[in-house]
Amino acid sequence: MAPSPPPHPLPAALSLSRSLSPSPSLPDTPSSQSRLSQLSSHLSTASHTMAAVFSAANVPQAPEDPLFGLMRAYRQDPFAKKVDLGIGAYRDDHAKPWILPVVRKADEILRSDPELNHEYLPIAGLPQYTGAAQKLILGADSPAIHDGRVATFQTISGTGAVHLGALFLAKFHPLRPAPTVYLSDPTWANHNQIFTNVGLQIAKYPYFSAQTKGLDIDGLLSTLLAAPAGSIIVLHACAHNPTGVDPTHDQWKQIATVIRERGHFPFFDCAYQGFASGDLARDAWAIRYFVSQGFETCVAQSFAKNFGLYGERAGAFHWISAPDAAATSQVTTGNIASQLAILQRSEISNPPAYGSRIASIVLNDPQLFAEWEEDLRTMSGRIAEMRLGLRQRLEARILADSSNIINGSQANWAHITSQIGMFSFTGLSESQVKVLREKWHIYMTKNGRISMAGINSHNIDYVAEAIDSVIRETA
Ligand SMILES: Cc1ncc(COP(=O)(O)O)c(C=O)c1O
């Protein structure tokens, strides 16, 4: 006869609690008392050593987010002349955060509204806000809006919008496995984790040419041509992060041609509309062009930078269906909106109110809208001035020096003024970035990206001196 299997061991806590309950036949004697107290002390020790499901072995320590790590190191640096060129947020000429005057006004209007309350917003967000956000990105006269082919959801800023789009594509793309998502090389670092976290495969397309410090249009086009048909292509609508390099209108047209030819899906990320050039329509040109060409596409829109509403998390996700003669695109758009609502409900239930209320007040009032455009010009204008000032200072130092130590790419700073938006990809190497931080207390990301917003009339000479000195030291 086969030996009977050993009884399945009871979980420690359960078997102990069983042995703790006094047996009905056990008289309450001093010896049973002492056994009970022995067991109870055993139980309290055992509860500290119970096998845990999660341990350091299966949950490894994750690296700190590089950008937030940089911000922390900057805050802790006591050096008086330290400079923060890492942060992707606008600073005024005194290196202070700037509350847009129009946002202050909207805030007063909001706070004096007797109807204001703290009720939940609808799942898709504040309707006045989502309607205005649609018009802002696609143009008030957009045929897609007119045809009812746009579904818009208020999101947790631009990050939430990219995520909602990524989640929708992962869940509903008809191809299985879902197509690969192509990201520019380099890109905003968070793109990588947002798309992989929803289970999508990612790949890169060339974007930045280290030689020209401009767009590698040939590399970009040939990679998109060679990518499997129907791939998802993430495109920065304007003010590419981290390079500050945008395609020209002609290059956008070439990109659109290849995307159409290969049946790819263009996914726009727009975090800097109006902040890049100071002109809202100009910064939305690429998106509007693709929509005018009848592409099915989606857009992640952020109001963090252009309203200075970073922490208020105001953004929007727009789905734009392709036009079709039978008008089935309206039905498709409605179905997509219904699915987005389920995703949104399960993730955030409904979006936060404050930032969207502020943006909505401004976007829906012509006078305040005009004041906002003025604020956008103030921000982009100051940044453009700093670009020019830095370039002039660096080039003047090189020209003034007869030793000609600096040659080649690091002698040419034209890219500082040809790049656009918040960032400039300087071409500084990782070791040069390290010296700038350790010797000069100037903080920037390892890839040599600087936030132009961190430069002001008080530190621009110091920054130019530091960069020039580091280049000479390492030449
Ligand atoms: C390219 C890009 N996309 C999206 C975002 C999202 O920003 P937020 O979530 O703060 O709106 C950023 C912010 O830096 C960005 O640079």
In this structure, what CATH number is given to the domain that contains residue 387?
A: 3.90.1150.10
Same-domain pairing of 340 and 229: yes
Helix (H) or strand (E) holding 184: strand 181-185
Count CB neighbours of 381 within 10 A: 11
DSSP states along 52-71: PS--TTTSPPPPPPHHHHHH
Q: Tell me, in angstroms, the distance from the centre of ligand 1 to residue 381's CA.
A: 21
Supply the pLDDT for residue 87: 83
Predicted pLDDT of residue 25: 44
Q: Is 159 in the pocket of ligand 1 (CB under 6 A)?
A: yes
Per-residue tokens: 105: 């006004």
Q: In the annotation, is 84 catalytic?
A: no
**pLDDT confidence band for 408 (50 / 70 / 90):** low
Task: Report if residue 369 sits inside a domain.
Answer: no
pTM of the prediction? 0.89
pLDDT score recorded for residue 39: 63
What letter does residue 8 receive in the DSSP assignment? P
172 contacts: CB under 8 Å, gap ≥ 6 = 336, 339
Decide if 42 contacts 16 (C-beta within 8 A): yes
Is 115 among the domain residues? Answer: no
Do 245 and 152 share a domain, yes or no? yes
Residue nearest to atom 16 of ligand 1 (CA): 241
Whether residue 78 lies inside any domain: the answer is yes
Percent helix, strand, coil in the chain, to 5, is 50, 10, 40
- 88 CB within 6 A, ligand 1: yes
> Does ligand 1 come within 6 angstroms of the Cβ of 165?
no
Any idea of the CA torsion for 457, 463, 464, 465, to the nearest 10 degrees?
120
Q: How, if at all, do strands 449-451 and 423-425 pair?
A: antiparallel
Residues 349 and 450 in one domain: no
- Write out the two tokens for 246: 């945008």
Number of domains the chain contains: 2
Domain co-membership, 193 together with 267 = yes
Dist. CA 94–CA 457, nearest whole Å: 8
Res 11: pLDDT: 41
Per-residue pLDDT, averaged over 132-138, amounts to: 98
Q: Is residue 324 annotated as part of the catalytic site, yes or no?
A: no
Question: Is residue 390 domain-shared with residue 291, that is, in the same domain?
Answer: no
Q: Is the pLDDT score of 42 beyond 80?
A: no
| Known catalytic residue at 188 | yes
Answer yes or no: do 244 and 351 share one domain. yes
CA 194 – ligand 1 centroid, Å: 12
| Cα torsion through 155, 144, 195, 269, rounded to 10 | -80
- Residue with more model confidence, 36 or 53: 53
Residues 391 and 444 in one domain: yes
User: Residues for the chain: how many in total?
Assistant: 475
**pLDDT band at residue 69 under the 50/70/90 scheme:** confident
Which of 335, 364, 393 is the C-terminal boundary of a domain?
Answer: 364
Q: How are strands ordered across the β-sheet holding 232-236?
A: 150-156, 314-320, 297-302, 265-270, 232-236, 181-185, 202-206
User: Which runs of consecutive H residues, i.e. helices, occur in 77-215?
Assistant: 101-111, 127-138, 143-146, 157-172, 190-197
Domain boundary among 364, 388, 404: 364
> Which listed residue (84, 98, 305, 375) is catalytic?
305
Residue with the bigger pLDDT between 48 and 201: it is 201
User: How much of the chain exceeds pLDDT 90, in percent?
Assistant: 79
- Whether 333 is covered by a domain: the verdict is yes
Phi, psi of 384 (to 5 degrees): -65, -40
**Tell me: the pLDDT tens digits for 300-333?**
999 999 999 999 999 999 999 999 866 788 999 9
Report the pLDDT value the prediction gives residue 15, as an integer from 0 to 100. 40
279 and 132 part of one domain: yes
Indicate if ligand 1 lies below 6 Å from the C-beta of 188.
yes
Catalytic residue among 269, 283, 375, 468: 269
Average pLDDT, the chain: 90
Residue 60 counted as domain residue: no
CB 80 within 8 A of CB 88: no
Q: Residue 384: its pLDDT value, please? A: 95
Q: What share of the chain in percent tops pLDDT 70? A: 88
Whether 111 is covered by a domain: the verdict is no
Q: Which atom of ligand 1 is nearest to the CA of 161?
A: 9
Residues 85 and 224 in one domain: no
Measuring from atom 13 of ligand 1, which residue has the nearest CA? 271
**For ligand 1, atom 3: residue with the closest CA:** 271
* Pick from 2, 91, 31, 18: nearest CA to 443: 91
Atom of ligand 1 nearest to the CA of 158: 11
Pair (213, 344) in one structural domain: yes
**Does residue 106 sit within a domain?**
no
Last residue of a domain, one of 309, 340, 364: 364
358 and 461 share a domain? no
Residue among 269, 312, 356, 423 to mutate when testing ligand 1 (max atoms within 8 A of CB): 269
Q: How far apart are CA 367 and CA 361, in angstroms?
A: 11
Range of the domain at 191: 120-364
> Which atom of ligand 1 lies closest to the CA of 303?
11
Is the CB–ligand 1 distance for residue 236 below 6 Å? yes
Q: How far is CA 445 from the centre of its chain?
A: 16
Ligand 1 centroid–CA 285 distance in Å is 19
403 in any annotated domain:
yes
Please indicate, yes or no, whether residues 410 and 282 belong to a single structural domain of this protein: no
What's the token pair of residue 445? Answer: 């990301």
Using a 6 Å cutoff on CB, does residue 187 contact ligand 1? no
Please tell me if the CB atom of residue 243 comes closer than 6 angstroms to any atom of ligand 1. Answer: no
The CATH number of residue 355's host domain is 3.40.640.10
User: Per DSSP, what are the bridge partners of residue 156?
Assistant: 314
Ligand 1 contact, 242 CB (< 6 A): no
Q: Is 309 in the pocket of ligand 1 (CB under 6 A)?
A: no
Burial profile 318-340: b = 16 or more Cβ within 10 angstroms, e = fewer: bbbbeeeeeeebeebbeebeeeb
